[in-house]
Amino acid sequence: MNAVALGELIAPVRARKAGSATLPILSMTMHEGLVDQTAKFKKRIASEDTSSYKVIERGQLVVGFPIDEGVLDFQLKYECAVVSPAYGVWALVDDSAVERSYLQRFLRSPMALSYYRSKLRGSTARRRSLPAEVFLALPVPLPSVEEQRRVARILTQADALRAQRRESIARLDDLLASFFIGSLRAAGGRPVSLKEAGVDFEVGKNVVGTETDAHPQHRVIKVSAVSRGSFDPTESKPLPRAYNPPASHRIRPGDILFGRASGSLDLLGATVQVDDVPDEMFLPDKVWRAVVRRDGAITAGYLLGVLRSRRFKAFVCHNASGAAGVRNIGKSKVLEYELVLPSPDAQMSYEKNASNVSALQRTQQLQAEKLEQLFDSLQARAFAGRL
């Protein structure tokens, strides 16, 4: 299959500013590409003043950031719309030479993402950028337009299966939230803080081995190990060979882990329960283990529901401190969080329902991972001309 440089297919656009025009406002998302803010978020999230926003015409390519996560899309929703002035805008050089759906699929494929990551410049992870000339040098496999359309149809059908699975997992999250809200209706008595309910947090230590001084087994988890909805032990770093971590820092199955720092408010306070974990995995200082005293008024399973609730997440975001790069919340502030607890029986009922939903979520997640692997395989074959 012939390959051409991306620069032969697209050219930069000097998009005009929105000025006083009233046009739909689009935001970029990782999975869905460009979305209408009102439809996606049920509200407008852009600045009140969008006069400096870029006007994007139908068919133009919008490139967001971080580009190595495939945050780009063709604008096909409206004749004209506006996007953040931070986005890059490109147009096809020749509409008859390339199918937009095919090009979009390739630009978001593992092959393209690997290229972006290898070429990014800058020292701060999510602020690294890809120079335009490097972006345009990306080799694009380019079969006939008819073949491009066939490949795009197959990948679109496979991607729809992935989207359905993500939707199923999201609905289970909503079901879990509804069980928690239902449990609050059974609550009574005065509000108590998490500290009064018997909750505490155990903290580890973040020491990392060098390339020549890495321990062969002992590892410390990163914040990203708890940021994706389930515990991911692969997101870890080796401890120094000479460092002997305390037994209290060891992560155990059943632990409830809470991320007290993040580069994003959306991920601050991410909470997971550990199902399985390698023996030699330890806590850092930015991920805490939640514990409940034996005489505490709250059960561990109900505490997990509290830490994952929308009200608690809002409390964490409101009380976070730190610069835009890294946001933190202190233990004393988290332990001030107040709630009215349901009876022990109501808490146990919630735990049972939550356990059943979590089991379904694990099954759905495994199926989602298999679909991701299948989709990656299809893309590799498609863009190598073997589909």
> Which pTM was predicted?
0.69
Query: What pLDDT sits at residue 360?
Result: 92
At 329, is the secondary structure helix, strand, or coil?
Answer: coil
Q: Are residues 132 and 216 in the same domain?
A: no
Domain co-membership, 238 together with 305 = yes
- What pLDDT was estimated at residue 43? 47
Q: Strand 281-282 vs strand 214-221: parallel, antiparallel, or unpaired?
A: parallel
Answer yes or no: do 328 and 354 share one domain.
Answer: no
Residues in a beta bridge with 321: 328
Instruction: Please say whether the beta carbons of 81 and 50 come within 8 A.
Output: no
Hey, what amino acid is at 148? Q
Kindly report the length of the chain.
387
Regarding whether 285 and 331 lie in a shared domain, the answer is yes
Count of Cβ atoms closer than 10 Å to residue 32 Cβ: 12
Mean pLDDT of the chain: 89
| CATH number, residue 313 | 3.90.220.20
Cα atoms found within 13 Å of the Cα of residue 66, Cβ hemisphere only: 15
Q: Residues 368, 283: one domain?
A: no
Whether residues 366 and 276 share a domain: the answer is: no
In the numeric block, which tokens belong to residue 214? 């890495």
Question: Does residue 21 share a domain with residue 123?
Answer: yes
Last residue of a domain, one of 100, 116, 138: 138
pLDDT of residue 288: 96
Q: What CA dihedral angle connects 16, 18, 20 and 23, to 10 degrees? A: 130
- Structural domain of 177: 143-187+342-387
**Is the CB of residue 335 less than 8 Å from the CB of residue 195?**
yes
Bridge partners, residue 121, by sequence: 129
* pLDDT recorded at residue 187: 76
Comparing C-alpha atoms, which of 203, 339, 337, 177 is closest to residue 261? 203
The stretches in the chain having pLDDT less than 50 are 40-46
Q: 332 and 205 share a domain? A: yes
Residue 347 one-letter amino acid: Q
CATH of the domain at 162: 1.10.287.1120
Token pair of 297 as six digits: 């008024």
Predicted pLDDT of residue 48: 63
235 shares a domain with 125: no
Same domain, 238 and 365: no
Contacts of 383 by beta carbon, 8 Å cutoff, 6+ apart: 106, 109, 111, 141, 151
Distance from C-alpha of 287 to C-alpha of 227, rounded to nearest angstrom: 10
pLDDT at 127: 62
Provide the number of structural domains found in the chain.
3
Write out the DSSP string of 57-70.
Answer: ETT-EEE-S-GGGT
- DSSP-derived letter for residue 153 is H
131 and 150 part of one domain: no
CA–CA distances in Å: residue 272 to residues 134, 276, 298: 39, 12, 18
| Co-location of 8 and 96 in the same domain | yes
Q: What confidence score (pLDDT) does residue 125 get?
A: 54
* Coil, helix or strand at residue 81: strand
